[in-house]
Amino acid sequence: MNIDEIFDFTSFTIDREPHIVLDDKVCAGCDVRGCTNCCPARCYTWSEAEQKMTFVYDGCLECGSCYVVCQRNAFTRWRYPRGGFGVSFRMT
């Protein structure tokens, strides 16, 4: 099953309170930006023209990759969603 197929079996209950909060000033000084490559949900988008990182938490699959990959500790908050929120996977 590839990542696009996984989304066919996935639903989200979006919390108003983001479970991941990014300090985009830190990202502006990052020359690696591994998050843009490792995030399977494509939550991170770097704009070369604006020199700005955009992050959306709504479609986060809660894999933890961005937390591991980021070497600059750019997160002012990184936790899993509160109970009852976030992603749900249906495998049948």
User: For binding to ligand SF4 (CB under 6 A), which residues are involved?
Assistant: 20, 22, 26-27, 30, 32-35, 38-41, 43, 53, 60-66, 69-70, 72, 74
Q: Which is nearer to ligand SF4, 47 or 92 (CB)?
A: 47
The nearest distance, CB 11 to ligand SF4, in angstroms, is: 15
DSSP assignment of 21-40, as one string? EE-HHHHHT-S--HHHHH-T
CA nearest to 46, candidates 64, 63, 26, 60: 26
Strand pairing of 52-55 and 20-22? unpaired
The nearest distance, CB 61 to ligand SF4, in angstroms, is: 4
Q: Which is nearer to ligand SF4, 31 or 91 (CB)?
A: 31
